[in-house]
Chains A and B, each alone.
Chain A
Amino acid sequence: MAPRALTALARRGAGLGLTLLAIALAIFALLSLAPGDPLAQMPHTLPPEVRTAMREALGLNAPWPARLALWLKQLLLIEPLALCDALLGTTWAEGAPRLLSWQSHSPVMGLITDRLPQTLRLMALAYAIGLACALPLGLWQAYTHHSRADHAATALTMTAYALPPFVTALLLIWLFSITLGWLPSGYDASHRITDAQSLGHEVKQLILPVLVLTLQITAQLTRHLRASAIEVLNADHIRTARAKVLGPRALLTGHVMRHAMLPVVTIMALGLPQIVGGAIITEQIFAINGLGHLLISSIHAGDLPVVQTLTLLIAVLVVLANLLADAAYRWLDPRIGA
């Protein structure tokens, strides 16, 4: 790698570190400034001295710099060490104060690693299917733009884009689970895949939640893909390709797609926060035991350590995905310098 690229990478890395620190500080400040009492949900019959002892045990009486330092130390040092312990069998984090959930008294990171795969699977499936639908649809809409079919498809994508996920989920459940009875209306988290039949059931119970997210993603991507493909279709090299009597298929896949794809990478990154919100709601509706479900149930239970860490973690994942999209963009389009 050229030295210039290396310094650019280093600068981006430093910027990323600062960004993540700023998010962590903002979340911590929110929690510290909130006027509510973290123990407000405890029974009112608790004697005051017990309440004081509980506050002491939870570390709530410490001054805020100490609490912040402890949280950052737990996040940056103790939890990674504990991860090493779990993976490699070392004992580096033994006896260190890990981040504990107030609700289950188990390490927060354990809860999160239990739930992370479900959320990632849901979102990865939705994005894969969404992209696979949006690519041909957007390109075809651009090719036939301002035809009647294009207008119909535009109205459809606009509807899917504007509808909130809980309304689409409601309509889909009503149609496919209740009226037609084809698919289960909820997700059975205890289902184990042992043979072909149970695999079939797993696929069936994933269809509706994935579909809710896919509709949103497809609508988001198609609208932008259509706009950018229309722009590409007006370019000089497309006129040349048309002059060579290329059919629509060769034209779109060979000449338009590569150029029209570029902004889509950015749109995927920009739209990710919205899709994450959609995933949280979808998990809640279908009772999928992912991060969103954990977040909502922890909020209802007033479990601050879990909520705090989870909000930070989701933000960090989204910021990292943005960075990845940025790198992908540079790799796809060599005209943009490193």
Chain B
Amino acid sequence: MSRTLWILGVIALALLTAPLLWPFEATAPDLTQRNLAASLTHPLGTDRLGRDRLARLLMGGQISALTGLAGMALTVLLGTAIGLASGLSRRLDPWLMRLTDLCLALPMLPMMLLIVMLFRAPLTASLGDTLGTFTLITTVIALTSWMQTARLIRAEVLRLSGMEFTQAARALGAGPWHLAIRHILPNCMAPLVTSATLAMAQAMIAESALSFLGLGFAPGTPSLGGLLHEALPYLGLHPARALAPGLMLAVIVLIVTGAGEAICQTHDPRGQTGRAHREDACQGR
């Protein structure tokens, strides 16, 4: 697990520092340098406004990872809140679980597209192009992917509620809030971290899918999906322009997913013993 965290840290560091080290700016157009082929100064060439493609790729990685992080944070927050409420309140539980099951059964991409289509113009008008789209996309991701976290947290809450230490806390007069925050949530950390890493991978894919379909960030803000969207028509002429963002996204998503599985195996919520058992449990999830 520590190895996985190391790899994650290295990737995060690379994403953060690479644009600082690279001499070209991703958003600065240079009309004298338009549509250049790949060369030593511009390893991926320049686009139709003379912006360095490698700089845009590095910034795209940053933007996609940031959106993924923010989307993950919102998803986990919403999922934990709903899972806690559902696990702790008998009255809310049937309704919240019905809602969760319904949302799990719905195809979320069309819903995301619908919400983005309806709320994009007003949000970008009031918050600006990049911030508005960022808020919209992260909110939409959270609204369409909180269900797994909620279910996981609810199951943990139900398991922990039957244990002696929660009963002891209840006997000492702990209210539901105190119980949830001081006793139950700290014990949910392992499944929470697992679902958070998986939520991050999903959020990055969702953001790229939206940008790829032309409904995410505006072309001025390069994200990996947007770069793919730009480069796909020229796949035959310049395959590297599309393959580079595609592979970058693939590698980040694979590593994040792998980290999720590794964390799941280290802290198996089901309490089985033996490495082989835990691997199987985490894959059959």
Contacts and interface: CB of A to CB of B under 8 A. Distances in A.
B209 interface: yes
Determine the main DSSP class of A at the interface with B: helix
B118 A31 contact: yes
A36 B235 contact: no
B147 to A, nearest CB: 11
A154 B281 CA distance: 13
A112 interface: no
Interface residues of A, number: 58
Determine the main DSSP class of B at the interface with A: helix
B109 A36 contact: no
Nearest to B214: A300
Interface string B256-278: 01100100000000000000100
A218 to B, nearest CB: 15
B208 interface: yes
A5 interface: no
B118 A273 contact: no
B276 A146 contact: yes
B122 A35 contact: yes
B100 to A, nearest CB: 13
A311 B120 CA distance: 18
Interface in A209-252: 223-224, 226-228, 230
Contact of B246 (A36, A167, A273, A300): A167
Interface stretch (A43-51, A83-91, A168-176, A196-204): A168-176
B163 interface: no
Interface in A148-198: 154, 158-159, 161-164, 166-167, 170-171, 173-174, 178, 185
Given A27-B114, A166-B228, A311-B111, A273 B250 contact: no
B217 interface: no
B40 interface: no
Interface in A271-285: 272-274, 276-277, 280-281, 284-285
A170 B208 contact: no
A164 B122 contact: no
A270 interface: yes
Contacts of A166: 208-209, 212, 225, 228, 246
Given A167-B249, A281-B212, A315-B106, A296 B113 contact: yes
A273 B114 contact: no
Given A164-B209, A170-B235, A270-B104, A295 B115 contact: no
Nearest to B106: A315
B119 A34 contact: yes
Nearest to A157: B283
Nearest to A163: B250
Interface of B: 102, 104-111, 113-115, 117-122, 201, 205, 208-209, 212-215, 225, 228, 232, 235-236, 239, 242-243, 246-247, 249-250, 253-254, 257-258, 261, 276, 280-281, 283-284
Q: What 9 pairs between A and B have smallest CB-CB spacing?
A: A227-B284, A277-B109, A34-B118, A276-B107, A273-B107, A35-B122, A162-B257, A164-B205, A311-B110
20 contacts: A23-B106, A31-B118, A40-B121, A159-B254, A161-B257, A164-B205, A170-B242, A173-B235, A174-B235, A185-B236, A223-B284, A226-B280, A227-B281, A270-B104, A277-B209, A281-B212, A302-B117, A307-B117, A311-B111, A318-B107
